């Protein structure tokens, strides 16, 4: 149980570092043998272990995300109008359940999407948001010009793609330092290689063929957590529909990559339900 909590905390670094990278350098947001098991901690130790790992993951994520990243203007959060998924009329074989129904909660921007395919039902964690207004035009508009993009937008996208190429070493650094901090503060013999990542493939940010106002990127990370391999797939989309900028991020198992790549490309450009 204790190891599962450590693994969950370490895996959260993927989201933390991605969010920090987006904030610092991109146009998309505010991007073996594990050894013997340690002894069961005394009462109260587990809580300290969780806090230690959680705090250190957050600190390391921010540090790594800022390395080599050029500051960009602040994300226009005042014009962020909430999750896309709750505003789309989904096909009958798709079902979306948000993590929270409260608009003031950040969990409102994410949820679980399930799709009934011919042979199985796939599921993915989805996060999405939309932006609309003058500040959003200034921040994102340079990516979606009729005949290309501005030099400033090209620089932001280059930084984003550089971040994608560095994410494997960045996350492994997070995991290693998290385990070091846990060992130091809790005195538990947690293996340094309790969790590692191998980035099997990086598809850099690019315009989608035949859709000049839609961009996409993908990652295929394989996690090894306490000796168990977990191949995952991450697919992101950015699009301009009318005067609104939309962003969607899917995280699922690698075996379901085609299902959610096609679904995401359809959903990102679907018209919003009139309220």
- Residue-wise pLDDT for 145-168, tens only, equals 988 899 999 998 999 999 999 989
Mean pLDDT for the chain overall: 77
pLDDT: is 222 or 107 the higher one? 222
pLDDT: is 43 or 143 the higher one? 143
pLDDT: is 37 or 50 the higher one? 50
pLDDT: is 49 or 7 the higher one? 7
pLDDT at 58: 47
pLDDT: is 259 or 71 the higher one? 259
**Is the residue at 273 inside a domain?**
no
> pLDDT, tens digit, for every residue of 51-62?
444 454 445 444
Nearest residue to 160 via CA among 130, 212, 202: 202
**Is the residue at 103 inside a domain?**
yes
**Averaged over 177-198, what is the pLDDT?**
86
Q: Which residue has the tokens 């959060």?
A: 77
**Is the residue at 251 inside a domain?**
yes
Task: Give me the number of domains the chain comprises.
Answer: 1
pLDDT at 46: 37
**Averaged over 216-243, what is the pLDDT?**
91
Range of the domain at 181: 2-267
pLDDT band at 24 (very low <50, low <70, confident <90, very high): very low
Q: Is the pLDDT of residue 182 over 50?
A: yes
**Is the residue at 274 inside a domain?**
no
Q: Model pTM?
A: 0.74
Tell me how far CA of residue 251 lies from CA of 64, 148, 176, 260, 261, in angstroms.
Answer: 22, 29, 23, 9, 10
pLDDT at 201: 95
Q: Is the pLDDT of residue 186 over 70?
A: yes
pLDDT: is 218 or 228 the higher one? 218
Q: Is the pLDDT of residue 63 over 90?
A: no
Q: Is the pLDDT of residue 103 over 50?
A: yes
pLDDT at 68: 39
Alpha helices by DSSP H, the chain: 2-25, 45-66, 134-140, 151-186, 257-267
Give burial (CB, 10 Å; 0-12/13-18/19+) of 132. Answer: middle
**Is the residue at 272 inside a domain?**
no
Listed in sequence order, the residues at least 6 apart from 230 whose beta carbon sits closer than 8 Å to its beta carbon are 222, 223, 224, 253
pLDDT band at 192 (very low <50, low <70, confident <90, very high): confident
**Is the residue at 275 inside a domain?**
no
| 36-40, 43-47, 98-102, 266-270, range with greatest mean pLDDT | 266-270
Residue 122 φ/ψ, nearest 5 degrees: -95, 155
pLDDT band at 3 (very low <50, low <70, confident <90, very high): low
- Using alpha carbons only, what angle is made at residue 21 by residues 109 and 144, rounded to the nearest 5 degrees? 70
CB 224 within 8 A of CB 198: yes
pLDDT band at 33 (very low <50, low <70, confident <90, very high): very low
């Amino acid at each position: 149980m204790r190891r599962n909590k450590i693994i969950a905390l370490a895996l959260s670094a993927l989201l933390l570092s991605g969010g920090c990278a987006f904030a610092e350098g991109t146009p998309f947001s505010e991007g073996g043998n594990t050894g013997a098991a340690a002894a069961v901690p005394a009462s109260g130790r587990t809580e300290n272990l969780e806090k230690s790992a959680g705090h250190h993951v957050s600190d390391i994520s921010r540090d790594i995300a800022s390395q080599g990243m050029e500051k960009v203007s602040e994300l226009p959060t005042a014009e962020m109008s909430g999750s896309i998924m709750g505003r789309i009329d989904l096909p009958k074989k798709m079902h979306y359940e948000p993590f929270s129904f409260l608009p003031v909660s950040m969990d409102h921007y994410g949820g679980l999407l399930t799709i009934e395919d011919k042979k199985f039902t796939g599921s993915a964690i989805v996060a999405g948001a939309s932006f609309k207004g003058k500040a959003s035009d200034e921040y994102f508009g340079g990516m979606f010009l009729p005949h290309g993009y501005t030099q400033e937008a090209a620089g932001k996208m280059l930084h984003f793609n550089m971040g994608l190429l560095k994410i494997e070493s960045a996350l492994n650094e997070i995991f290693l330092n998290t385990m070091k901090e846990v060992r130091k503060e809790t005195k538990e013999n947690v293996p340094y290689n309790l969790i590692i990542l191998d980035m099997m493939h990086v598809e850099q940010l690019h315009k989608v063929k035949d859709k000049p106002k839609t961009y996409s990127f993908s990652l295929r990370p394989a996690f090894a957590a306490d000796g168990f391999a977990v191949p995952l797939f991450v697919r992101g989309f950015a699009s301009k529909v009318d005067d609104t900028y939309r962003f969607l991020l899917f995280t699922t198992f690698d075996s379901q990559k085609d299902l959610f790549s096609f679904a995401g490309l359809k959903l990102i450009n679907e018209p919003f339900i009139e309220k």
